[in-house]
Amino acid sequence: MDIGEIARRAGVSRSTVSYALTGNRPVSEATRRRIQTVIDELGFRPNAAARALKEGRTRTLGLVIPAAGRRLTDMQLGFVATVVEAAAGADFDVLLSPSGGDHDRSFERIVTGRRVDGVILMEIRLEDDRVSRLRRSGLPFVAIGRTRDTAGMWWVDIDYTALVSRCVHHLADLGHRHIALVNRSAELIAAGYGPGHRALAGFSEAVAERGVAGLDVCCGDDAPAGEACVERLRAEHPEVTALVSVNEAALPGIQRGLERAGLGIPRDFSVAGVAARHWAEDFRPPLTAADVPTHDMGARAVELLLEQVSTPTAYPRHLLHTPPISLRSSTGPAPRPAT
């Protein structure tokens, strides 16, 4: 049986059946019931489309990713892969949509086009227009990250404030008196990127508490930017003996920059940070870091979204991850000043 046979027996056009199955355009409830009756009478084998029609859902989740012009970091790709995997496990498809700049129309189609049952947002800003738009629409959504005001919001996030603070305390305990924070790009920070601002808050609080000198620097999301960042630090602030990085994509460049400067890790310079586990383990020597649980975060985001979809009146829930700092080999006692 094909869509033409369903349309003929229901007395509607093929396009109407298609719209009813996909949710791409509104179809009256009476017409939807008539199409479903035909499917039931013909004993059509239930599949995703039929279930979607019967349940009044699309069985598709939207995943709003950063603009296509920006290369996704490994952590972001990890979130995408995990969301797709978790959704498939629940028999849902995932529709990817970029946002920002020229892609605002794509995001608006996700919100208004009845293409998805709910949305997962990535790369959240402290003041995020996308969150405001989704709140107004009533479409269920979960954020990987969180805005400044989280009232009524479902979200999953990393506690960058606490984790960066712990890294600073660890380095201070080792005797480091001049510590740098390698943050995300200046453009992201200026746009209000939540993790970057919360990392800076944790860094500032910790250096003040420990009475050490702190320097925060912005860095692009790639290895060349990381290498340039280290070169600039060595040229302008040679007193810095340790850094905390929340920019995992810059880590290979940070390592290369320290090697080119002739600095041994951790003999001459210590490095700690917040990163996905494989970045930490690939660093040489392995990075002392809080390992971001991308798999668990993506899976929990899907779980929370499906809870909203099935129970629209459910009370908003959130999950704040604070993984332990894994002490590896990239941090050590502060080097003794040259005599």
Tens-place pLDDT, residues 150-182: 999 999 999 999 999 999 999 999 999 999 999
Q: How confident is the model at residue 238 (pLDDT cuts 50, 70, 90)?
A: very high
Least confident of 45-54, 180-189, 261-270, 292-301: 45-54
Q: Give the DSSP letter string of 175-205.
A: T--EEEEE-S-HHHHHTTBHHHHHHHHHHHH
Q: Nearest to residue 53, comparing CAs of 40, 63, 41, 62?
A: 40
| Residue with the larger pLDDT of the pair 230 and 19 | 230
Alpha-carbon separation of residue 189 from 102, 194, 197, 220 (angstroms): 20, 8, 7, 11
Whole-number pLDDT of residue 1: 54
Q: Give the pLDDT mean for 136-156.
A: 95
Residue bearing tokens 């709140």: 135
Point out which residues pair with 193 in neighbouring strands: 125
Q: What is the DSSP letter of 265?
A: T
User: Lowest mean pLDDT: which of 27-36, 78-87, 199-208, 320-329?
Assistant: 27-36
The strand order across the sheet containing 242-245 reads 213-217, 178-182, 242-245, 270-276, 288-292, 325-326
Confidence (pLDDT) at 2: 67
The 8-class DSSP code of residue 102 comes to: G
Q: How confident is the model at residue 135 (pLDDT cuts 50, 70, 90)?
A: very high
Number of neighbouring beta carbons within 10 Å of residue 134: 24
Share of the chain above pLDDT 90, in %: 69
- Report which residue type is found at 111: V
